[in-house]
Every structure is written in structure tokens, then in C-alpha cells.
């Protein structure tokens, strides 16, 4: 503060009920802003009506299990990058998140589910990239465990967002008896973000801008699941 500058006069009370002092209002506004940016290390409650309080993101494969590999692109690298991007986006919205792996390590499917099952009211989203012998096949699809209505609703919310901006074949939402979905107690879905066996789709998946779009749409789909 400039010592030569006179202090401003204090404003008189307006007498309005429930009016916070200006310093308190400013502090509250700053807290909300910093929390929204993910700067404060506090937990912000999810939007009213959400069915979950935490998201567990599962980057498929890792370590000795590279997943699919085509045209110099390895699935395990793509899945970790997209999962980390989704995590940052969700945390910026105040949603607590956990990754089943944070580096290039091998994690058993059972251990991925065990990590998710440590929490209650959890949403579990496993992220993968597809491949097929027929290199002409391309597109995005999302799976849920058969008979899980909540899983189907989550998968549908994610697939809907992915199909809104990404120009590719919408392969829809499908039931699948995948082990990681079966073992997870919370609401679970598995996203196949594209066929890297298709050269055109692989080239897109290899770019950071495309993986950012994937992450934004997956995050939006998760937040839209109610």
C-alpha cells in the first residue's frame, strides 16, 4: 500500500440482513475461483444429483503388456496419455479422481478392480484403443457389463459425447463380459477410442490435439452421467 495515499472511508452498514462483509465475500469468491482451477487442495462436492463421488480412470495395458501396436504407435502409451488428460479435466471441475496406473507399469486386471473397489459411489472408466485384422475397420465404441443398467447409462453418456465432435464411425454402446467390468463393484464402462490398425485413425490417435478431444468428450460424458 502507498503510505502517501489516504485510506478510503469505511462504508456504512446498509442494514441488509445476511449481507457478508466485503472482505468475506472477496475471500469466498477467491476460494471458489481457485478451487475451480484445481489450485486449492480441497475436495469440491460434485454437482447436485450426481450418482458418484469419485472417478477411477483405468489406462489400459502398461509395462510388459503393450496392447495393440500399429504403425509405430503403441496402445499403452495412448491410454495413459488420454487418462491423464481426463483426470486433469475432471479435477478442474472439482471431481476427485484416481488412476489405476500413473506410469508405464503392468497392473493385473484384478488389481485394477481392487483399487476401484476401495471407494464407494465410484465410477470406473477403462480407456483403450482398438485393433482388427481388417484394417478398413474404424470407429469408437463403449462397453458395459451385461445386465448393468447403470453401466449402460454411463457407457451411453460417454459414447454420446464422443460421437458429437469426432468424425468417425459410431460403433455404439455394447454389452461385453469383460473381466475388469465384472470385477468392479461400482458403475463401470470401457471405452475403445479408435482402431489404431486403421492407418487413418491411427494417425489421428497419434496426435496430441486428437487425444485432447477424446479426453474432453470422455470427461464430459462422465459428468453428464446422472
* Tens of pLDDT, residues 75-112: 999 999 999 999 999 999 999 999 999 999 999 999 99
CA nearest 76: which of 99, 117, 37, 105?
Answer: 105
pTM, 2 dp: 0.78
What are 12-28's pLDDT values in tens digits?
Answer: 433 433 333 333 344 33
The answer to whether residues 133 and 35 belong to one domain is no
Give residue 163's domain range. Answer: 54-224
Whether residue 208 is found in the same domain as residue 96: yes
- In-domain check, residue 135: yes
Dist CA 98 CA 124 (whole Å)? 9
* 192 in active site: yes
Compute the average pLDDT of residues 31-52: 42
The secondary structure element, H or E, covering residue 109 is helix 109-116
Is-contact 60 76, C-beta < 8 A? Answer: yes
The residue annotated as part of the active site, out of 75, 161, 192, 220, is: 192
pLDDT higher than 50, residue 29: no
One domain, residues 203 and 148: yes
Written as nine digits, the cell of 193 is 477410442
Evaluate whether 168 touches 201 at the Cβ level (below 8 Å). Answer: yes
Torsion of CA 105, 89, 44, 160, to 10 degrees: -100
Asked if residue 129 lies in contact with residue 75, where contact means CB atoms within 8 angstroms, the answer is: yes
Per-residue pLDDT tens over the stretch 51-69? 788 999 999 999 999 999 9
Q: How does pLDDT run across 129-140, given as a tens digit for each residue?
A: 999 999 999 999
> Do 87 and 198 reside in the same domain of the chain?
yes
Q: What is the mean pLDDT of the chain?
A: 84
Clarify whether residues 38 and 109 are in a common domain. Answer: no
Indicate whether 58 and 33 sit together in one domain: no
Amino acid at each position: 500500500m502507498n503510505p502517501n495515499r489516504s485510506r478510503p472511508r469505511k462504508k456504512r452498514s446498509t442494514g441488509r440482513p445476511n449481507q457478508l462483509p466485503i472482505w468475506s465475500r472477496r475471500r469466498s469468491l477467491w476460494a471458489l475461483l481457485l478451487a475451480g482451477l484445481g489450485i486449492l487442495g480441497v475436495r469440491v462436492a460434485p454437482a447436485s444429483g450426481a450418482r458418484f463421488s469419485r472417478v477411477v480412470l483405468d489406462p489400459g495395458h502398461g509395462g510388459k503388456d503393450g496392447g495393440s501396436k500399429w504403425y509405430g504407435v503403441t496402445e499403452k502409451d495412448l491410454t495413459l496419455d488420454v487418462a491423464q488428460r481426463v483426470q486433469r479435466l475432471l479435477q478442474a471441475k472439482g471431481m476427485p479422481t484416481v488412476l489405476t496406473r500413473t506410469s508405464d507399469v503392468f497392473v493385473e486386471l484384478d488389481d485394477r478392480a481392487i483399487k476401484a473397489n476401495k471407494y464407494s459411489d465410484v465410477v470406473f472408466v477403462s480407456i483403450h484403443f482398438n485393433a482388427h485384422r481388417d484394417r478398413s475397420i474404424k470407429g469408437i465404441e463403449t462397453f458395459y457389463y451385461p445386465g448393468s443398467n447403470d453401466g449402460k447409462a454411463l457407457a451411453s453418456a460417454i459414447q454420446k459425447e464422443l460421437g458429437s465432435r469426432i468424425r468417425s464411425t459410431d460403433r455404439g454402446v455394447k454389452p461385453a463380459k469383460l473381466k475388469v467390468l465384472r470385477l468392479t463393484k461400482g458403475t463401470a464402462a470401457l471405452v475403445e477410442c479408435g482402431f489404431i490398425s486403421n492407418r487413418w485413425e491411427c494417425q489421428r490417435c497419434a496426435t496430441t490435439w486428437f487425444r485432447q478431444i477424446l479426453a474432453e468428450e470422455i470427461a464430459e460424458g462422465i459428468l453428464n452421467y446422472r
